[in-house]
Amino acid sequence: MRRRNCLGSRALMALVFLFLYAPIFLLIVFSFNKGNSNIVWTGFSLDWYKSLFQNRLIMRSVYTTLLVSLLATAIATMAGTFAAIGFYSLRRRTRTALNTVNSIPMMNADIVTGVAMCLFFVAFFTFWGDFSVWFNGVQSVVVLPERLTLGFGTLLIAHVTFNIPYVILSVGPKLRQMDKNLVDAAQDLGCTWMQAFWKVILPEIKPGIASGALTAFTMSVDDFIISYFTAGSSSSTLAMTIYGMTKKRVTPEINAISTLLFVTVLVLLVVVNLREARAERTGQERHPVSQKLTQMLDTPKGRLFRRGAAVVLAASFLIAVVLLTGATNAQPVVNVCSWGEYIEEDLITQFEEETGIIVNYQTAESNEALYSLLKSGAGDYDVIVPSDYMISQLIEEDMLAELDYDQIPNYGLISDRFKGLTYDPEERYSVPYAWGTVGIIYNAAMVEEPITSWSAMFDTQYAGNVLMFRNSRDAMGIALAYLGYSLNTTDEAELREAFQLLKDAKEQGVYQSFVMDEIFQKLEGGNAAIGAYYAGDYLTMLENNEDLAFVVPEEGSNWFMDAMCVLKDAPHYNEAMAWINFIASTEANLANMDYLWYASPNQEALEQYPAYYEELYEEELGQETYDIIAAPQEVLDRCEAYLVLPLETRKLYNDLWTELGI
């Protein structure tokens, strides 16, 4: 009886561990995959690690992460230690109450902390703006900056804030374990309180401080949510960068960096636990090497050395921090917010080398997400790349700055077809970035005959195999196109009809799920047969699954234009102009077109691309492929661009979308 129980519970335990660690194990294994698939193993290689270290976006965020974690750890450890000593000397009842208050932030949902801090900072900046304007007005000795933004400073403050409770939590027990007569004894033997602190309290609670600092550091490196809300546009931690990268698809590069992050945190945790375990084994002799070292450092000379080393370390750390933050502040900067994997990254390096302007490159998930970020005041970007209809809306709400086209000579290279479109008829606010069409991507091996119509998106014969857009505009757009209505209709009856179509299909189980960039994984892996998405992305998927096919349905579809705009009050206006001009150049457009598989609005680039491709890959670019990237005019004629909808209609969209319950 007992034996079997034992076996059963062991099996259960093995299962639990399998469940816990199998995903991480898989991630680690595929970080060494030669190919770029997460499903098919094609051989061992370290290529992804190599490319990781060449990826400037990642390296910069590693640097930011380390800097913010180290600084936050140092500050939080100091503050937390003194706070713990303060708590300790309080009366018991007050202390218990304070400890509870202290542990609430740790229990609190990160997202609440993050949002609250973001709100607080933004509110403070507003107040600060008013104050500094007044202050600079009444005197001229000190000039205060009038515009503060989220950035490294706020990120650091946030990290310090959420780290302090962990330090208090690990130092507090050490203090309580300490014989409370120790301080009295030190004073009795000739110490002032301060001397007693250094000579007796500090050595006693050192293990607590060390494990508090390690925990804080781990938490800092680990954190995503709070950083996401407080970093603003100019800094990005590693976790944020990884998140940005996953928006498109999980590349083996992400596996590699995640593996490194996992290993780092694992090592830190092991160190913390070993320390604690060692501390518990009281009376046990210390490791001979560390004992020897301690003895050496305990001689008068050693003590001098130790003190000197500590001073030098602290000083060089401070100097490094000052230099680093100073250096980044002195350099011109431009903050760009675009979409995930929506730029050839070499262009950023090239631009930085040519102009000396540092590019802080961030990504948003969708037009709607970008819009709410801007509205909350947290996104203090210079350049954004919204889509057509969103541009109209931003212009309508007076959120964009007029561009200085004199500084953007490359605007002349933009094809006349793409100038003065409905979203910006007077050509005052935008420079086109890329365009494309929406169509159906399907797995030819999983359907019986080629798909030509949107009807496939509502057809119960494909139930459970269809992927639909997870945003109201595109999803409703498909239904409207299928019904033969305008994508920009404001007629409630037409909209409700389209909605009913979607709803019925959903209830009949047509849709496997509603997705955005997850579609890459699903279609590439053959987990779904049909999905609606962007033409350029189809070509990326095709590289990993040759069975995929693309069609712009006969009923017509959406064609979209993403264009670069500058936000009103952008802090780096001239740098923004330089960036836009650089990206509008033919060379940049060619590089981007090749990387994105989205069509360029630059006439020269459009014409030169087949030759560019041939030179680069030493093979011809088929006309069919080219037509998918840059849809020919007869396809565009069937398509319709989105226009900004009246508020009433937007509200209806919202209500219907909510009713659909995605």
Give me the least distance between CB of 306 and another protein, in Å please: 14
Candidate residues 99, 187, 527, 574; the one interacting with another protein per rule CB under 8 A: 187
DSSP label of 570: -
Using CB under 8 A as the criterion, what x/- string covers residues 242-281 for binding another protein?
----------------------------------------
Verify binding: residue 94, another protein, rule CB under 8 A: no
Q: Which of 467, 459, 420 is nearest to 443 (CA)?
A: 467
Is the Cβ–Cβ distance between 388 and 259 less than 8 Å? no
Give me the least distance between CB of 216 and another protein, in Å please: 23
Is the Cβ–Cβ distance between 397 and 562 less than 8 Å? no
CA angle 181, 182, 183 (to 5 degrees): 95
How many chain residues bind another protein (CB under 8 A)?
20
Give me the least distance between CB of 82 and another protein, in Å please: 20
Q: What CA–CA distance (Å, rounded) separates 506 from 302?
A: 75
Q: Which is nearer to another protein, 174 or 248 (CB)?
A: 174
Q: Which is nearer to another protein, 202 or 463 (CB)?
A: 202
Distance of CA 162 to the CA centre of its chain: 20
- Beta pairing class for 559-567 and 400-401: antiparallel
Candidate residues 28, 39, 191, 549; the one interacting with another protein per rule CB under 8 A: 191
Q: Which is nearer to another protein, 188 or 659 (CB)?
A: 188
Give me the least distance between CB of 291 and another protein, in Å please: 11
The residue to which tokens 């500090």 are assigned: 202
Q: What CA–CA distance (Å, rounded) separates 482 from 505?
A: 13
Verify binding: residue 184, another protein, rule CB under 8 A: yes
Verify binding: residue 647, another protein, rule CB under 8 A: no
Candidate residues 5, 100, 140, 282; the one interacting with another protein per rule CB under 8 A: 282
Q: What CA–CA distance (Å, rounded) separates 525 from 445?
A: 13
Q: Which of 465, 441, 253, 432 is nearest to 340 (CA)?
A: 253
Candidate residues 192, 273, 329, 455; the one interacting with another protein per rule CB under 8 A: 192
Both tokens of residue 522? 């699903």
Both tokens of residue 225? 């949510």
Is the Cβ–Cβ distance between 550 and 628 less than 8 Å? yes
Using CB under 8 A, which residues numbered 198 to 217 contact another protein? 199-200, 203-204
Give me the least distance between CB of 212 and another protein, in Å please: 18
Give me the least distance between CB of 181 and another protein, in Å please: 4
| Packed helices 56-88 and 346-355: angle between N→C axes, nearest 10 degrees | 80
Q: Which is nearer to another protein, 45 or 291 (CB)?
A: 291
Give me the least distance between CB of 74 and another protein, in Å please: 23
Q: Which is nearer to another protein, 199 or 428 (CB)?
A: 199
Q: Which is nearer to another protein, 285 or 406 (CB)?
A: 285
Give me the least distance between CB of 273 and another protein, in Å please: 22
Verify binding: residue 182, another protein, rule CB under 8 A: yes
The values of phi and psi at residue 475, to 5°, are: -65, -50
Q: What CA–CA distance (Å, rounded) separates 520 from 365?
A: 15
Verify binding: residue 175, another protein, rule CB under 8 A: no
Is the Cβ–Cβ distance between 49 and 31 less than 8 Å? yes
DSSP label of 485: -
CB atoms within 10 A of CB 619: 8
Candidate residues 179, 346, 354, 396; the one interacting with another protein per rule CB under 8 A: 179
Candidate residues 20, 90, 143, 189; the one interacting with another protein per rule CB under 8 A: 189
Give the interface with another protein as residue ranges (CB under 8 A): 179, 181-182, 184-192, 195, 199-200, 203-204, 282-283, 300
